[in-house]
Chain A
Amino acid sequence: MIARLGGALLAAVLALGAADPAAAQQRQVRIATEGAYAPWNFTGPGGQLEGFEIDLANDLCRRMNARCTIVAQDWDGIIPGLTAGRYDAIMAGMNITDRRLEVINFSRPYAAGPHAFAVMPNSPLRAMPGTGRTFSLATQEAELVAILNQIKPLLRGRTIGVQTATTNSAFLTQYFGDAGATIREYRTTEEHDLDIAAGRLDAIFAAVTAITATAEKPEFRGLAPAGPLMSGGILGRGVAVGLRKADADLKAAFDAAIEAALKDGTISRLSEKWFKTDIAPRS
């Protein structure tokens, strides 16, 4: 009797397990984000991760039929953490660059926004040449460099903040390394925001989406882009999911999911929600 009951129980358990084949096939994906780069990804008041990339990751995971866990990881160790296998993907406002492609792989881009200097309202740098115009370093470099050369003398002796190991810091080093300005590298964008509000910095160089989000907080009121809005070239070829080179099938899954999310307008909708503007890549 007991043996039969046990047998029935075992059969029931087996049947339960078999009844959900999707669960058995579900891919486990661990996604790392910085959690300190509003509104892309940040830590909300309750300690939970929020932002454009958190919403997007959840949407992509649904499309890939994957069970995702999102973890926070400091920016300066985020690529070594991926290659060491501590997680499987990076969604942290990371641009595709040649340097990063030497070490990791990227999905197709899911966002592409411009970068710019930003200054506080009372700054003499407010009306830098090129303000309000948009340039691509990939196709209009000569025209842009002419404007940057007019900006250079204005920055002499000034202090500019930038997040370390970003396309932004690479841009400053390449185009303003000889401008006679002090380039101060910060671990997070939040820290250089604090320092420009405190008056320690004359300007910051960051993604316009991040500048706009910061300017919405009362203590940073009036922070605004100055000079041209720039993208492409050393500033990267768009924001994408960072993946290990060996994980070709995970890349294929992300590519397909991003493609679908672009096509049905999900990415544009999330972009409008978080950035108040559509930064879905057009290509």
Chain B
Amino acid sequence: MDLAFLADCFLRIVPGIPMTLALTALSVSVGLVFACLLAAMRLSGNTLLDWPARLHVFVFRGTPLAIQMFLIYFGLAQFEVVRTSVLWPYLREPFWCAFGALMLNTAAYGSEIVRGGLLAVPCGEVEAARACGMSGFLLFRRIVAPIALRRALPGYGNEIILMVKATSLASMVTLVEVTGLAARIISTTYRVFEAFAVAAAIYLAINFAIARAVAALEWWLSPHLRGAPPPAPDLRLAH
């Protein structure tokens, strides 16, 4: 194993980390807002809201992300209407196309996770809250949201990690991120193992941090599941 070359690979791939993180952070945060919106539409009981949401999930969950990215970047640019539209300044840029594909994709998966979390709230808890006189937003804020959040968090943690890995597809639309830089090293040095091993280690480090953060959030949100702290020894008995 050539340590000097590994170090060189690392230094050449590091400049791609901000792009990987920016794509993840932006698409996950905006995607979460969309996911909540889609979940609300699904649970609204209104067919006109329910079906568009179902269609979005069907399309974005049912097709490969790589194809979505190609369709948005190379496909849409084919149409004169798109190239003269107000959206073109954004669709012209590979960053916004990659962001769009990642965001719409995670919104589809995320909406199912959020919907699952909301449906997992026990009826008894809601009934008890109603009996106490809570309703509407108060009921949602105090009872439904905290329970749904705890239920959805492990699944959503998975989704964030999947998104970090999905950003590796952004090099297909010319963005310079971790995988793209590793591929570029390979195509000039022809050493596949070292470059991809370094890229893999970088993803591993990012995802380790995310997994720990999600676990910490879960722990913080679930005080009722932790055992009571051991009682302080009663010093009076020592006398």
Tell whether A199 pairs with B174 under 8 Å between CB atoms, given A83-B190, A164-B184, A165-B188: no
The chain B residue with its CB closest to the CB of A99 is B188
Asked if B150 CB lies within 8 Å of chain A CBs, one says no
Asked if B192 CB lies within 8 Å of chain A CBs, one says yes
Asked if A135 CB lies within 8 Å of chain B CBs, one says no
Bound state CA distance, A271 and B78, in angstroms?
32
Question: B180-213 CB contact bits vs A (8 Å, 1 = yes)?
Answer: 0001101110101000000000000000000000
Asked if A62 CB lies within 8 Å of chain B CBs, one says no
Contacts of B186 in A (CB 8 A): 76-77, 80
Asked whether, in the complex, the Cβ of A199 is within 8 Å of the Cβ of B83, the reply is yes
Bound state CA distance, A75 and B184, in angstroms?
11
Chain A min CB distance to B154 (Å): 36
Asked if A245 CB lies within 8 Å of chain B CBs, one says no
Asked whether, in the complex, the Cβ of A191 is within 8 Å of the Cβ of B188, the reply is no
Asked whether, in the complex, the Cβ of A165 is within 8 Å of the Cβ of B184, the reply is yes
Give the total of A residues in contact with B, Cβ under 8 Å. Answer: 21
Asked whether, in the complex, the Cβ of A191 is within 8 Å of the Cβ of B184, the reply is no
B interface, size bucket: 10 to 19
Asked if A103 CB lies within 8 Å of chain B CBs, one says yes
Asked if B77 CB lies within 8 Å of chain A CBs, one says yes
Asked if B56 CB lies within 8 Å of chain A CBs, one says no
Asked whether, in the complex, the Cβ of B78 is within 8 Å of the Cβ of A165, the reply is no
Question: A67-85 CB contact bits vs B (8 Å, 1 = yes)?
Answer: 0000000011101100100
Asked if B12 CB lies within 8 Å of chain A CBs, one says no
Tell whether A194 pairs with B183 under 8 Å between CB atoms, given A80-B190, A186-B174, A199-B83: no
Asked whether, in the complex, the Cβ of B74 is within 8 Å of the Cβ of A191, the reply is yes
Contacts of B176 in A (CB 8 A): 185
Chain B min CB distance to A213 (Å): 19
Contacts of A200 in B (CB 8 A): 77, 92, 94
Bound state CA distance, A195 and B75, in angstroms?
11
Asked if A198 CB lies within 8 Å of chain B CBs, one says yes
Contacts of B187 in A (CB 8 A): 75-77, 79, 164-165
Asked if B17 CB lies within 8 Å of chain A CBs, one says no
A76 interface neighbour in B78, B92, B183, Cβ under 8 Å: B183
Asked if A187 CB lies within 8 Å of chain B CBs, one says yes
Contacts of A83 in B (CB 8 A): 190
Asked if B21 CB lies within 8 Å of chain A CBs, one says no
Question: A35-76 CB contact bits vs B (8 Å, 1 = yes)?
Answer: 000000000000000000000000000000000000000011
Asked if B121 CB lies within 8 Å of chain A CBs, one says no
The chain A residue with its CB closest to the CB of B82 is A198
Chain B min CB distance to A80 (Å): 5
The chain B residue with its CB closest to the CB of A82 is B190
The chain A residue with its CB closest to the CB of B88 is A199
* A148-199 residues at the B interface, CB under 8 angstroms: 161, 164-165, 184-187, 191, 194-195, 198-199
Asked if B143 CB lies within 8 Å of chain A CBs, one says no
Question: B47-75 CB contact bits vs A (8 Å, 1 = yes)?
Answer: 00000000000000000000000000010
A-B contacts besides A76-B187, A79-B187, A184-B94, 5 pairs, CB < 8 Å = A76-B186, A164-B184, A191-B174, A199-B92, A200-B77
Q: In the A-B complex, list the 5 residue pairs whose CB atoms are closest, starting with the nearest.
A: A165-B187, A198-B77, A76-B187, A184-B174, A79-B190
Please list 11 pairs of residues, one from A and one from B, whose beta carbons are closer than 8 Å in the complex, sorted by A's number.
A76-B187, A77-B187, A77-B192, A83-B190, A164-B184, A164-B187, A185-B176, A185-B184, A191-B74, A194-B74, A200-B92
Binding site for A on B (CB under 8 A): 74, 77-78, 83, 92, 94, 172, 174, 176, 183-184, 186-188, 190, 192
